[in-house]
Amino acid sequence: MGENIKISNAGKEPKFQFCTLEYRPQNWDIASSQIAPVILLVLRDEQGNLRFLVHPELRIIVHSRDLDYIESLLLDFGERAKQHPEDLFKQLSFLNVGPLVTKEIGSSLSEFPAIQKLSSDFVQL
């Protein structure tokens, strides 16, 4: 998919907004003890450009019955980001149906240390 990238620079936090999306398989139940793993981090920079960081073990985490769908969504996100990044970011920030669901939205990763740590292992789409 891509290479690992760092999203922080020597004490300076880049100015961007972000949202994380977690994977919920078809049989996922909020009442169960299953944890829905974050598989996608979307970064929006000051100019409105989007970057997508994906969990490096996406193909292991996502059930085989959902994998083609998730991969097609990721490709679609990349294409839509070129033409309508603002609309796409808004949509991704409020997904609540299907196998990709918004978990967190924010403008400072330092407020979300678990996501910041996790994102350092993600790869750019």
Give dist(CA 84, CA 67) in Å, integer.
25
If one counts the domains in the chain, the total is 1
In a domain, 16, yes or no: no
Counts for the chain of helices (H) and strands (E), in that order: 4, 5
In a domain, 1, yes or no: no
Q: Beta strand 50-54 with 100-106: parallel, antiparallel or unpaired?
A: unpaired
In a domain, 7, yes or no: no
Which domain covers residue 47, as residue numbers?
23-124
Least confident interval from 22-36, 45-59, 92-106: 22-36
In a domain, 6, yes or no: no
In a domain, 63, yes or no: yes
The angle at the Cα of 97, spanning 91 to 99, to the nearest 5 degrees, equals: 100
In a domain, 54, yes or no: yes
Radius of gyration of the chain (CA): 14
- Please state the pTM of the whole predicted model: 0.81
With DSSP H G I counted as helix, E B as strand and the rest as coil, what are the percentages for the chain, rounded to 5?
Answer: 35, 25, 40
Q: Report pLDDT digits (tens) over 66-89.
A: 999 999 999 999 999 999 999 999
